[in-house]
A and B are shown apart, each in its own frame.
Chain A
Amino acid sequence: MIDFELSEDMRGMRDMINQVADQTMRPISRQFDEEEHTDPTEWQQMMWDVSKGASIFGGGPEKSDKKSSKEKKSLGTSKPSERNVGATVTIEELSWGDAGLYLSIPNAGLGGAAVMAAGTPDQKKRFMARFGEGDPKWAAMAITEPGFGSDSAAVATTAVRDGDQWVLNGTKIFCTSGQRALDKSEGFVVVWATVDKAAGRAGIKAFVVEHDTPGVTVTKVEDKLGIRCSDTAAIVLEDARIPLDNVLGDPEVLTASKKGFKGAMATFDATRPAVAASAIGIGRAAVDFVRDELVKAGVEIRYETPVMKQTAIERDFMDMEANLQAARLLTWRAAWMMDRGMQNNLEASMCKSKAGLAVTEVTQKAVEILGPLGYSRKLLLEKWMRDAKINDIFEGTQQINLMIVARRILDYSSSELN
């Protein structure tokens, strides 16, 4: 049955996280925007203690174990999974609090998502166990290089086998939480590299590079337009040696098959709704704020007023609300499909593309509506506008996601439409 109400558990969780966001994130939001490259250490420790390292998205150590979820299904008694819908709800609330802080939470993050999507059971255990214990930790994913962005198949970083080790060489940029994973905690980075340039995509594999690996250096942490609390690192790999079984996946990935690449790409079907959810959290912060200000100013939004009689503010505000809600519903749908074990590649790109654009426009319009106040750093609105924009870019730009949508609806391969 078509239903738009979150389960009771989910609502309880949402309200709880909203309190955390309101009481612990909003008060330090501006500070960690202004003090870029400073860690909110106390807050991070608190979040680590509270979450016990449970993954926000992409699967924590136990919860996303494929076997156990299969077992559950075969029993046929337990409630259908809400794990991914739950993740989008959680992420929306945290990003409503502050998107930069949300991205700074000690967490298995994208690196963990890649391990969970492409790793063997042994690898999952070996790499993920740390997130349930000890000090705060991060894991990150390093794909982008100075010479390529969206064209993931153009990886130039190389991995050469030398006995029972891989030797990695290359430069990675725009690695979210790269510094925290390598220099500030006992984490790891999942590095995409090619074992055979001539093999194209089939030669690309994902390698787990541990924090204490010699030859791995964080060379730069970027200064950014927004999400300034999040560290965006450049990483140089110079003859970095890692164990042979740190390549993600079964041994067969070592043969020239696309399996490794496809496995890593499949990560995006889970992480794109997560990014969309974060976008929606920021957008909602802006819409909530504008709504309150309009009420204070005595401006009423008359929903029933015919289009030809609407004021410009009414029209703008209703557009903001509708676009935000459309993005949220597309995102819930993509997550719901994952919970049901359905292929959601199309829907994941749809929601990401819609949410990135919608929230970019919503926050920009919010700044405009508030006029001189909107532009002032006394309020958080201008920050939300800056924070929102990243969602239109990372985890695949709006345009790359449109391309994926187009390929799916037209039934074209990447060589037919690029």
Chain B
Amino acid sequence: MISFEPTEDQQLVRDTVASFASNQIRPIARDADESGQIPDSVVQQAWELGLIQSAIPEEHGGYGGDRSAVTSALVCEELGYGDLSIAMHVLAPRLVTYPVLELGSDELRKEVLPDYCGEKFVPGTAAVMEPSMGFDLNDLQATATRSNGSYKLSGAKCYVPLGSEARHAVVYAREGDGTAAFVVKTDSPGFEVAEREKIMGLKGLATYEVMLNDCTVPASARLDGDLKPIFNRSRIALASLAVGVARAAFEYARDYAKDRKAFGVPIAQKQAIAFMLAEMAIEIDSTRLLTWEAAWKLDRGEDATREACLAKNYAAEMVLKVTDNAVQVLGGHGYIRDHMVELWLRNGRGFAMFEGLALA
């Protein structure tokens, strides 16, 4: 039966993360963007919320909690509302734990998961994207070749978050006609992390190019099973993060417009501005509902590819438009780095290219 109300547990999680995002993340977001650094203390505080550990079963050291994609969507929106770089940083371990949890062999689960259940934040990552205009999850350039009971991984990867410090990376590569995923220890020979990337947005998040030079991993490192639910889960996480970024920009522009006067009245009382804000609100809600629906379908164990792709693509367009409008509402002030909206526009622009960059 149709309902738009999260469960009480979900509301509790959302409220907790929302308050963390507003009180701990947002105040340092500008600084993180300017300095390219996220303070360890905040990362550790986020870790202590248990977002990573909660989904890991107790037998592997976690809390054995909720693994619902709907819950994740709620969490991602709030983290994205705080700051996208910090959200992706604190969620990065999920890039390892989630695929291992879903598709790893017992052996792999035992080996990897306890690492991410300790008291301190442990970085993990994924090497998904590639520095090519034709980048396509289902048509990767990096290859995995099997020989003598192990796999050789070759190719170039980019946008690998926390690449230099991560303990494990889940590497996605072409195997035959399809895409396969491998859990790689980042100190494996042939896993070569290049310099930190300089990108338009996400400046607080350390991302790296990674070269796979015949990086050899045991056959047991290969995740066994359908990767589609993982990809879809990532699309839902990205779409929810985009909703959070857009909501941040919308609220900022709304408050500014009520405060800023022109011709003797707040500019929000001018239809040109008021209508922009109304459309922003409608599109944010539209995207959130599309994303929830995709997450709900995924939670039911159904193929949510169509819904997840539609939601993610819609979100990518929406967040660009909303953040751009937010800059526009502030006019010249929106272009100045004293205000947050230019940061959200830079971060928002990325969603159309992001794939596999976040999981929750």
Binding site for B on A (CB under 8 A): 1-7, 10, 79-80, 82, 85, 303-309, 318, 321-322, 325-327, 329-330, 332-333, 336-337, 350, 353-354, 399, 402-403, 405-406, 409-410, 412, 416-417
Question: Is B360's beta carbon under 8 Å from chain A?
Answer: no
- A306 to B316, alpha carbons, bound, how many Å? 12
CB proximity of A405 to chain B, nearest CB, Å? 4
Q: Are B309 and A410 touching (Cβ within 8 A)?
A: no
Q: Which 7 A-B pairs have the closest CB atoms?
A: A326-B286, A329-B289, A406-B274, A405-B278, A303-B309, A406-B278, A7-B1
Q: Are B282 and A350 touching (Cβ within 8 A)?
A: yes
Give the residues in chain B near A406, CB-CB below 8 Å.
268, 271, 274-275, 277-278
Q: List 23 A-B contacts (CB under 8 A).
A: A2-B6, A3-B2, A6-B1, A79-B1, A303-B305, A303-B309, A303-B310, A306-B135, A307-B352, A309-B136, A329-B286, A330-B286, A330-B289, A332-B2, A353-B282, A399-B275, A402-B274, A402-B278, A402-B279, A405-B282, A406-B277, A410-B268, A412-B268
Query: Closest residue of chain A to B1, judged by CB?
Result: A7
Which listed residue, A5, A306, A329, touches B1 by the CB 8 Å rule?
A: A5
- A333 to B231, alpha carbons, bound, how many Å? 28
Q: Are A405 and B281 touching (Cβ within 8 A)?
A: yes
- CB contact under 8 A between A322 and B313, given known A309-B134, A402-B275: yes
Partner-binding segment picked from B149-157, B190-198, B208-216, B290-298: B290-298
Question: Is B83's beta carbon under 8 Å from chain A?
Answer: no
- A96 to B166, alpha carbons, bound, how many Å? 53
Query: Closest residue of chain A to B133, judged by CB?
Result: A308
Q: Are B281 and A350 touching (Cβ within 8 A)?
A: yes
- A416 to B4, alpha carbons, bound, how many Å? 32
CB proximity of B332 to chain A, nearest CB, Å? 22
CB proximity of A401 to chain B, nearest CB, Å? 8
Question: Is B70's beta carbon under 8 Å from chain A?
Answer: yes
CB proximity of B227 to chain A, nearest CB, Å? 11
Binding site for A on B (CB under 8 A): 1-7, 10, 70, 133-138, 231, 254, 257-258, 268-269, 271, 274-275, 277-279, 281-282, 285-287, 289-290, 292-293, 296-297, 305-306, 309-311, 313-314, 316, 352-353, 355
Give the residues in chain B near A330, CB-CB below 8 Å.
282, 285-286, 289
Give the residues in chain A near B231, CB-CB below 8 Å.
304
Q: Are B269 and A412 touching (Cβ within 8 A)?
A: yes
Interface of chain B, helix or strand or loop or mixed? helix
Give the residues in chain A near B311, CB-CB below 8 Å.
322
- A267 to B145, alpha carbons, bound, how many Å? 66
Give the residues in chain B near A412, CB-CB below 8 Å.
268-269, 274
Give the residues in chain A near B313, CB-CB below 8 Å.
307, 318, 322
Give the residues in chain B near A4, CB-CB below 8 Å.
2, 292-293, 296-297
- A100 to B5, alpha carbons, bound, how many Å? 35
Q: Are B285 and A336 touching (Cβ within 8 A)?
A: no
Q: Are B2 and A82 touching (Cβ within 8 A)?
A: yes
CB proximity of A11 to chain B, nearest CB, Å? 10
Q: Are A304 and B305 touching (Cβ within 8 A)?
A: yes
Query: Closest residue of chain B to A307, judged by CB?
Result: B352
Which listed residue, A2, A321, A402, touches B70 by the CB 8 Å rule?
A: A2
Give the residues in chain B near A308, CB-CB below 8 Å.
133-134, 353
- A321 to B353, alpha carbons, bound, how many Å? 21
Which listed residue, B4, B135, B306, touches A333 by the CB 8 Å rule?
A: B4
- A86 to B1, alpha carbons, bound, how many Å? 11
Give the residues in chain A near B70, CB-CB below 8 Å.
2
CB proximity of A315 to chain B, nearest CB, Å? 9
- A403 to B311, alpha carbons, bound, how many Å? 27
Q: How many A-B residue pairs have CB under 8 A?
A: 135
- CB contact under 8 A between A350 and B3, given known A3-B296, A304-B309: no
Which listed residue, B137, B254, B278, B292, touches A304 by the CB 8 Å rule?
A: B137
Residue in A1, A305, A318, A350 whose Cβ sees the most chain B Cβ within 10 Å: A1
- A220 to B5, alpha carbons, bound, how many Å? 47
Q: Are B2 and A326 touching (Cβ within 8 A)?
A: no
- CB contact under 8 A between A410 and B136, given known A303-B309, A329-B286, A330-B286: no
- A279 to B48, alpha carbons, bound, how many Å? 48
Which listed residue, B1, B279, B310, B316, touches A82 by the CB 8 Å rule?
A: B1
- CB contact under 8 A between A403 and B274, given known A307-B352, A309-B134: yes
Query: Closest residue of chain A to B228, judged by CB?
Result: A304
Q: Are B275 and A409 touching (Cβ within 8 A)?
A: no
15 further contact pairs, Cβ within 8 A, besides A330-B289, A353-B282, A406-B277: A1-B5, A303-B305, A303-B310, A304-B309, A306-B353, A326-B286, A330-B286, A336-B2, A337-B4, A350-B282, A403-B278, A406-B278, A409-B281, A412-B269, A417-B271
- CB contact under 8 A between A403 and B271, given known A308-B133, A330-B289, A410-B254: yes
Give the residues in chain A near B6, CB-CB below 8 Å.
1-2
Residue in A10, A350, A405 whose Cβ sees the most chain B Cβ within 10 Å: A405
- A320 to B4, alpha carbons, bound, how many Å? 23
Q: Are B310 and A350 touching (Cβ within 8 A)?
A: no
Q: Are B282 and A6 touching (Cβ within 8 A)?
A: no
Q: Are B310 and A3 touching (Cβ within 8 A)?
A: no
- A325 to B355, alpha carbons, bound, how many Å? 23
- CB contact under 8 A between A333 and B289, given known A82-B2, A322-B311, A322-B313: yes
- A99 to B5, alpha carbons, bound, how many Å? 32
CB proximity of A402 to chain B, nearest CB, Å? 4
Give the residues in chain A near B278, CB-CB below 8 Å.
353, 402-403, 405-406, 409
- A85 to B4, alpha carbons, bound, how many Å? 12
Give the residues in chain A near B5, CB-CB below 8 Å.
1-2
Give the residues in chain A near B3, CB-CB below 8 Å.
1-3, 336
Q: Are A326 and B289 touching (Cβ within 8 A)?
A: yes
Give the residues in chain B near A305, CB-CB below 8 Å.
136
- CB contact under 8 A between A354 and B136, given known A4-B293, A5-B2: no
